[in-house]
Amino acid sequence: MKKEDLNKNRAVGQPEAVQQKSEIAEREEEILAFWNERDIFNKTLGKDAPNGDYVFYDGPPFATGLPHYGHILAGTIKDAIPRFWTMNGYRVPRKWGWDCHGLPLENLIEKKLGLATKRDIEDYGVKNFNEAAREAVLEYRDDWKRIIPRLGRFADMENDYRTMDSTYTESVWWVFSELNNKGLVYEGFKSMHLCPRCGTTLSNFEVNQGYKDIKDIAVTVKLRLLDEENTSLLVWTTTPWTLPGNFAAAVHKDVVYAKVKIGDEFVVLAKERLSQLGTEEYEIVEEFKGEKLVGRSYNPPFDFWQKKEVAGKENAWKIYHADYVEVGSEGTGAVHLAPAYGEEDMNLAKEHNIPIAHHVDESGHFMDFVTDFECRLVKPKDDEAAEITHLDADIEVVRALSTKGVLFKKENITHSYPHCWRCDTPLLNYATNSWFVRVTDIKDKLVEENNKVHWVPSHVGDNRFGKWLEGARDWAISRQRYWGAPLPIWRNKETKEYKVFGSLAELTEHSKKSNNAYFLMRHGEAKSNQGGFINSIEKGTNPLTEKGREQCKEVAEKLRAEKIDVIFHSGMERTRDTALLLAEALGIGQENVVLDERLVEIQTGEELEGKTWDEYEALYATYEEKFTKHIDGVENRFDVQKRVGEFLYEIDKKYQGKNILIVGHAASTFALRSASEGADMKRAIAVRKEGYLGNAEYIKLPFTPLPHNDFYQLDYHRPYIDDFEVYDEDGTKLERVKDVFDCWFESGSMPYGQHHYPFENSDNFKQLFPADFIAEGLDQTRGWFYSLIVLGTALFGRSPYKNVIVNGLVLAEDGRKMSKSLRNYPDPMELVDRVGADAVRYYLLSASIMRAEDLNFSEKEVTEQVRKNLGRLHNVLSMYEMFADGTQSNGESSNVLDRWIISRLNQLIGEATEGFKNYELDKATRPVTDFIDDLSVWYLRRSRDRLKGEDAADKKLALATLRFVLKTLAQVMAPSMPFYADYLWGRVKEDKDEESVHLSRWPEVVAVDPVVIGEMSLVREFVTLALEARTRAGVKVRQPLPKLTINIELEPEYASIVADEVNVKEVVGDASISERAILDTEITPELKMEGDARDFIRAVQEMRKTQGLEPSDRIALVVKTSEGGETILRTFESEIKRVTGADAVSFGEAGGEEIKAGEYSFIVEIKR
């Protein structure tokens, strides 16, 4: 980097509404441009890596919005660690990924399209819905590709992976198939949490993300015993909407219950819960254990199910013993059972063959036979505008209970209730079918593997995550939704037996085959080929050349062995002639020479007809644009793939066991090759790189129908996969289970999906698994961290990661959640334009948020980081550059100040290295601030006179040391503040050094001299004590004093620093004094004169600054003063000239400024 490249003038003439970028921001953008121009990131991947690969997994973000502080935080961590290990001799690939599936995106599309329910989606069309999701999923991708590098992050965003890619999905299928082969997959009917709005069940860790405290209604209900007149069992529930589904009640056989008379009726409840009666006006009639209640029958609170036939009805409306019934601080010691709406209730129902039946549908509405509440939502989401609350149905149920005379008591409570983590709808505990992974079978292994992982902070791994694994339950991985990777399960409708396919090859093995053989050929040479012009429209004549006809005759001989049955051509003259020549040579009748216009050349439009192909190429900036760009009258490559794909699939259905020759054009044969394998753009471009078919060249075209979208790209999404026909070995058509995967299962498959393992990269997978490092927020202990370790352990018997950094949550400065509507936080990129990305990065990396603690984000504190770190360091650099003379860096000076700063530098290297290696980023970064403070406030200030160079040898030592320190500091800063680190490196690096600090080697600790460190610490302590004594005595520092006495003996080199710093003539060691330091404040006439001279010098220096003089500018001083003033100046003339850069001091009339020094006045004029 050239200095002038990094000091361009700011842009001028910008509108006032546009925020002016700071100098820091502009400097960072220039460094970013340098990285791009010099391809620095790829050079870090290509440089020598003696230690091999360091594996990093990056959890993929959604690109449905712009990056926020949570992304910036995680991204900074994910950037700092790879930079550190890259500098330590490792190769660290950083493949970017995009999370594309799941409820978060579906919810956005529903809002965008105005769809409220699954029925709305079905009516709109699954295909239309999913295509809208596909279009929206990467809406902000270009913004991310601009912002992420601007934040200083190195990542490969060009060769990214996407969870919606067919290659990724095939790996997900493989993962699921492997789990199935290991006996870890099953279908179960369980009570799970259902989001009625989304119409799908959620996994237990998704449920844990959505708990909120809400106000609700609890009711105590009377269940009238059939065998005891006027007596009721009291049951308590916080979900009144489940009471129409009551099928049983439960008590604990060993708990003591009391029969109590209240007024004219009797009620039964646990004796310890008599307070639930809400009155003291009662009489205990009888006490007994719960076993006396077991087996007795009662009248249910509602009779809807009594009117219907249901399996197990003979066991309904009885009292059962249940171990899970507890007598706590709430309730009655008895519970009602609606077995379809609770796991414990369901298990008890299965044990005793109690009916398990729904009175609520999956959309959360009461079913029509529940006539009192028909079609009402049982637990709606609060909607103030629509005047709907989550209590509406419960209130109606309570009213009905009261009317029936079975309501004993109603209470208002506040409790924690699960809500959908994406749409915020209250969840229902709901029995349904789902597919599960048997996590409980590998739970012990999960705990064992987690104990091997290095967690930062450790308590997250030991407690939060470790305890979660100890209590792990089977994972429901199927979702009754649309936009996601489909479950690869097909079932026999009659026998219910199912097949799981783990690859595309396995799937297509079970599809119907035409047994056709396809041969693809480009026409023989035509006039357009000879002349190099475009002919995509049948206009004029474009026959085969004589050479082209000869080519056809030659290829006919080769084709004879293929026994062609049918020839297709595009109808354009050159393909028609080719087909007819071949048919004649091969003895194929005209009826089997078929024209299909879908095989025509790519349509380039009227304007380009007859022009050169170079003119066509000029329409596109990149090859990718040829697939996506829309130009009126011009087809793009996917348009061609669509029409030829339609042709190919159509004839595959029409013909059976035929050898078919297709004669096309350069583009149409290329598109046929792409369509035959379901190529997406990336794969199609790879096909194109293999080259077009030459004139009269033919190939055998492998083809098996695939699940595909409208452009005949392999597509596993619904409805394409649903429509794909699959058959059992005996020819029975199988039906696909319509569910999609939990998006966490997909993200947990990332180590395999990003590499299309095991279909690609199987040979080097050991180098790609497990990850050395991952990082995400605390919430991912219930998300990505969990899904990764479950799948990795299930597949390979080990954790897929070794080291984890867990960060906390970034909150607004007031401690509340950051909110766009409240505008309680600065826009991230506007802040970067003000203070730079480095300051934001360092602020986050050095904060306690690195320890999974929340951070109240403060722009003021970020700005303070700029001042304390970048501002001070930039001043040090400026001072260095002011005196730099090309002296080479060297860290071996004998000067005590140099030895001290080198030792401090080695301390910094040691602390940073230890912090990074232990993944404690706060410990790795915080020492930088202290070091810069020492460098700026102590070392540079003490070395300023040395740099000015009166002692040439000492100047060399100071310059060599300072250059060495700045270079090394740039390396230590590189992971946390990559922009300024590279800027600094560029200013001080030497010819032998790498072009970027990020290509350099991490510095090693040479030696820390504890004596120098300790002695300098004492020096600074005594300086502080002496300055405090000066303040107490009211003596300014510029006034020399005779002596400072300290209670230890300092070596002369250290004592001289103290003397100079506190402006005393001598520093004396005296162990007999009782205090640490005693300052002699007696001012002799000689010392007074010296003090006045120093005041004079200081004033002249201020005049130099005011007049804009550079330190190198030489001056002459003309002074008008009294005899006494002249005496002072003459006495200290050499010192005055040295410090002020004056070549001469003369006395006489002066037209300058007045200076006061002690009791003297001076009129001073500066002449250049």
Rounded-to-integer distance, Cα 14 and Cα 23, Å:
15
Mean pLDDT for the stretch of residues 544-555: 95
Burial level of 448, CB count in 10 A (0-12/13-18/19+)?
A: middle
Q: What is the Cα–Cα distance from 548 to 580, expressed in whole angstroms?
A: 13
84 in Cβ contact with 975 (< 8 Å): yes
Residue type, 418: P
Q: Give the torsion sign (CA, 666, 671, 677, 679).
A: positive
277 token code pair: 């009666």
Task: Evaluate whether 769 touches 796 at the Cβ level (below 8 Å).
Answer: yes
The one-character DSSP state at 562 is: G
Q: What's residue 421's pLDDT?
A: 80
Per-residue confidence band for 19, with pLDDT thresholds at 50, 70 and 90: low
The chain-wide mean pLDDT, for the chain, equals 92
Residue range 134-161, pLDDT digits in tens: 999 988 999 999 999 999 999 999 999 9
Q: What is the pLDDT of residues 381-431, one digit of tens each?
A: 988 888 888 999 999 999 999 999 999 999 999 999 999 887 889 999 999
Show the beta-strand stretches assigned E in 855-931.
855-856
CATH architecture of 1091-1167: 2-Layer Sandwich (3.30)
pLDDT of residue 539: 73
User: 247-260: per-residue pLDDT in tens?
Assistant: 999 999 999 999 99
DSSP letter at 935 equals I
pLDDT tens digits along 493-530: 999 999 999 999 999 999 999 999 999 999 999 999 99
In whole angstroms, what is the distance from residue 633 CA to residue 641 CA? 16
| Whether residue 7 has pLDDT greater than 50 | no
Superfamily of domain 857-1002: Isoleucyl-tRNA Synthetase; Domain 1 (1.10.730.10)
pLDDT cut 90: percent of the chain above it: 82
What token pair was written down for 545?
């050349």
Of 491, 514, 808, 458, the closest CA to residue 660 belongs to: 514
Contacts 24+ apart (CB under 8 A), 1031-1035: 1033/1079, 1033/1081, 1035/1081, 1035/1083
Residues 75, 81, 86, 88, Cα dihedral to 10° = 170
Q: Is the dihedral of CA 709, 711, 712, 714 positive or negative?
A: negative
Matching residue, tokens 């699939």: 649
Tell me the CA distances in angstroms from 1072 to 252, 1046, 1086, one per residue in order.
82, 9, 30
Q: Stretch 905-923: mean pLDDT, rounded?
A: 97
Q: Is 820 annotated as a binding residue?
A: yes
Measured distance CA(117)–CA(730) in Å, rounded = 39
Q: Is the peptide bond before 418 cis (omega within 30 degrees of 0)?
A: no
What digits encode the pLDDT tens for the residues 817-830? Answer: 887 777 888 999 99
Question: Residues 6 or more apart from 858 whose CB is under 8 A from it?
Answer: 813
How far, CA to CA in Å, does 317 sit from each of 191, 224, 225, 314, 563?
20, 10, 10, 9, 76
pLDDT of residue 738 exceeding 80, the answer is yes
What is the arithmetic mean of pLDDT over 359-377? 90
Q: Which residues are catalytic?
A: 60, 99, 744, 780, 784, 817, 820
Token readout for 884 is: 């730099």
pLDDT tens digit string along 153-196? 999 999 999 999 999 999 999 999 999 999 999 999 888 888 88
1064-1092 per-position pLDDT tens digit: 999 999 999 989 999 999 999 999 999 99
pLDDT at 11: 31
First to last CA, the chain: 35
Q: Return the exposure string of 853-878: e unless at least 16 CB atoms fall within 10 Å of the residue's CB, then b.
A: eebebeeeebbebbebbbbbbbebbe
Classify 228 as helix, strand or coil: coil
* Whole-number Å distance between alpha carbons of 912 and 442: 39
Beta bridge partners of 567: 593, 661
Q: How far apart are CA 62 and CA 137, in angstroms?
A: 7
3-state secondary structure 591-602: HHEEECHHHCCC
- With contact defined as beta carbons under 8 Å apart, do 395 and 217 qualify? yes
Q: How is the beta sheet containing 265-270 ordered, strand by strand?
A: 283-289, 256-262, 265-270, 231-237, 211-224, 407-418
What integer pLDDT is reported at residue 5 of this predicted model? 41
Query: Do strands 156-162 and 283-289 pair parallel, antiparallel, or not at all (unpaired)?
Result: unpaired
Residues 6 or more apart whose CB falls under 8 angstroms from that of 848 comprise: 808, 855, 922
Global pTM reads 0.87
Give CATH for domain 212-417. 3.90.740.10
470-483 confidence digits (pLDDT tens): 999 999 999 999 99
- pLDDT of 632 over the 70 cut: yes
Query: Side chain identity at 219, as an amino acid letter?
Result: V
pLDDT at residue 10 greater than cutoff 80: no
pLDDT for res 329: 86
CA separation for the pair 14, 34 (Å, rounded): 24
CA dihedral sign, ordered 162, 164, 170, 171: positive
3-state secondary structure of 660: strand
The matching CATH number, chosen from 3.30.420.40, 3.40.50.1240, 3.10.180.10, 3.40.50.300, for 514-699 is: 3.40.50.1240
**Residue 150 confidence (pLDDT):** 97
CB environment 476-486: b (16+ within 10 A), e (fewer)? bbbbbbbbbbb
Per-residue pLDDT, 1 = 43
Q: What is the pLDDT of residue 12?
A: 27
Please tell me the distance from the alpha carbon of residue 985 to that of residue 969, in angstroms, as a whole number.
9
pLDDT value, residue 103: 84
Q: 418 — phi, psi (to 5°)? A: -75, 140
Superfamily in which the 3-182+753-835 domain is placed by CATH: HUPs (3.40.50.620)
The predicted pLDDT at position 925 comes to 97
- Angstrom distance (rounded) from CA 626 to CA 639: 10
Residue-wise pLDDT for 840-865, tens only, equals: 999 999 999 999 999 999 999 999 98
3-state secondary structure of 1072: coil
